[in-house]
Amino acid sequence: MAPRKRITMHDHAAEASLFKRRALFTFVCVVILLSILVANLYHLQILSYKDYATRSNDNRIRVVPVAPSRGLIYDRHGKLLAENQPFYSLELIPEKIKDVPEVLRELSLVIPISADEQEDFLVSLKHHRRFKPLTLKNRLTEEQVALFSVNQHKFPGISVVAGLKRHYPYNSLMTHALGYVGRINDRDQAALRRSEQWKNYAATKDIGKLGIEKFYESLLHGKPGHLEEEVNNRGRTIRTLKSVAPQPGQDIYLTLDLKLQQKAMELLDGRRGSVVAIDPRDGGILALLSSPSYDPNLFVHGISSKAYNKLLSSKSKPLINRATQGQYAPASTVKPHLALLGLEAKTVTPKTRIWDPGFWQIPGVDRKYRDWKRWGHGWVDVTSALIHSCDTYFYDLAYKTGVDKIAEFMGPFGFGERTGVDIFEESAGIMPSKEWKRLRYNQPWYIGDTISVGIGQGYWTTTPLQLANAAAIMANKGRRFTPHLLKSIKDNTSKIDTPIDELAPIVLKNPENWDIVNKAMQDTAQKKRFKNAGYTAAMKTGTAQVISVAEDAKYDADAIAEHFRDNALVIAYAPYENPTIVLAVVLENAGWGGANAGPVAKALLDEYMLRDTLEPLQ
């Protein structure tokens, strides 16, 4: 017999109550979710409308920075020294190319790209962000641009870019004064960020690296502009909405005299050395030449590793600015300053005489310090000692004065410290003292060290710029200026002369001492090279030993290596009565100062003083 089915009775009231509770819960959830949705819509559409509208426009509108044109550089007479020239270059975006070396090989069949250029590019690529364009080849000709344009469809990710690049029309003539511009590197970027100037370089690829270009970067660079472009979702430009033109950099005029600089380069003719000329009336630098030099245009477009290593390894060291960084023993060119010290300290008087037998000895010491004239000059006073450059007289003067007094007196003339010239590449030289030697070498100072300083040798070193500056102070009878290269600045409206930095003058107890020393320098010039010059001048020559010669040995230039031979130096100024130009010439390993540096100084003063009067000096 089959079992009976169990009959279950439904509680309809309970089920209805359960349904109502579930429906109410579902309704509350829906209301809450709708409330959240409405709240979000209110937040997006009302509260955050401006923010999201701005973001939308930012995605739709692209701001493209526009680089300013760099300010031009002129000499004191308005001759153009640095300009901007149009150029075409090939740029490559690495992330758009799968096999860069293969593409380079194919591209070289269309446009000549040497193996060295390809290698340099691949090295640069390793340290470059792949989404940013990188210059592959500079200075394309119009024919090369046309050839690439025809074949551009074969090379996605590579394009021709037009722009302006710095150009130096006189090539190596002004390199060490002007410097050059080059590509902005990581070090430059870090420096710009520290100075909060990075935003002004968004579209700029070059920056001043040396010389005037670096020192006055803030004036020359200008301010960038920008374009506001509407773009589609693929980033393609639809139209230009707004254009703000960049502000070009300011043009600057230098104190340099192009013709004088050209004459200096012609006279040095590639020899190692330097020429510095200063206008003593305001400290303006008329010529600043370091030889040998190099073409700065090589660095503007990116110098190859091979060419740079050649400059770097050259025995002539063309990369060094000898005018401001070369350190040379001043030799006899500082005897006028030492004579002035002797007169001012009353160590000697204009009538003080000593006997010069051709040597000098420290009392009680057998060693003899030789005069350049082995048989001596006989009886000499301060004037004849300067005219004939008597070493014996200045050995004795230094011994009686002491090195610390010498160092103290020479400080205001600028020895042993930077002049403050408006380029960064400058050395301080050395003005030795007892304290200096103790700090530098942890050694005591010996009397023999003082004797060497008495003729501008030993530890004493100076740059040609320091030497010219000290000579200018002598010619000015104590009036001092900071040497400078900037003469005036020109913007869109006017040309403004820069202020002159005049320093506190050197005041002597007896001002007549200036006249005694300067008159001796004039007599030196008139008795030697400037007797029939057509103008009055003053000068002092010097011959600096590069290596020491034994006490009883005779210097023989032919018997020693060329780079161990004496340096030739000269300081000169003209006209004597009211100087308008002061020169310092240094020729490395050239030998006798009067015979080798003297003719250079004479030719330069002739160029400046006797030039066509139709072109007045400014």
Residue 426 near residue 463 (C-beta atoms within 8 A): yes
The DSSP code for 430 is B
Distances (CA, A) of 597 to 137, 178, 477, 545, 600: 44, 25, 25, 15, 5
d(Cα 478, Cα 499) in Å, to the nearest integer?
20
Distance from chain centroid for Cα 130: 32
CA atoms within a 13 Å half-sphere pointing along the CA-CB vector of 467 = 37
Q: Which residues contact 536 (CB under 8 A, 6 or more apart)?
A: 522, 525, 526, 530, 574, 575, 576, 577
Kindly provide the residue ranges of all beta strands, DSSP E only, lying in 127-185, ordered along the sequence: 134-137, 158-167, 181-183
Distances (CA, A) of 601 to 475, 525, 569, 571: 16, 11, 10, 8
Q: Is 127 annotated as a binding residue?
A: no
The secondary structure of 440-453 as a DSSP string is: HHS----HHHHHHH
Distances (CA, A) of 616 to 113, 483, 610, 613: 50, 22, 11, 6
Give the residue numbers marked as catalytic: 332
d(Cα 506, Cα 413) in Å, to the nearest integer?
8
d(Cα 295, Cα 308) in Å, to the nearest integer?
11
Question: Tokens 């074949």 — which residue?
Answer: 151
Residue 137 near residue 155 (C-beta atoms within 8 A): no
Q: Is 371 annotated as a binding residue?
A: yes
Q: Which amino acid is at 442?
A: N
Name the nearest CA neighbour of 529 among 587, 574, 567. Answer: 574
d(Cα 444, Cα 459) in Å, to the nearest integer?
13
Q: Is 391 annotated as a binding residue?
A: no
Measured from the Cβ of residue 335, the count of other Cβ atoms closer than 10 Å reads: 28
Q: Which amino acid is at 240?
A: T
Q: Is 29 annotated as a binding residue?
A: no
The per-residue b/e assignment along 224-259, b for 16 or more CB within 10 angstroms, e otherwise, is bbbbebeeeeeeeeeeeeeeeebebbbbbbbbbbbb
Distances (CA, A) of 31 to 21, 27, 44, 258: 15, 6, 20, 86
The DSSP code for 111 is S
Name the nearest CA neighbour of 56 among 236, 202, 231. Answer: 231
Annotated binding site for Zn(2+): 356, 371, 377, 390
Annotated binding site: 356, 371, 377, 390
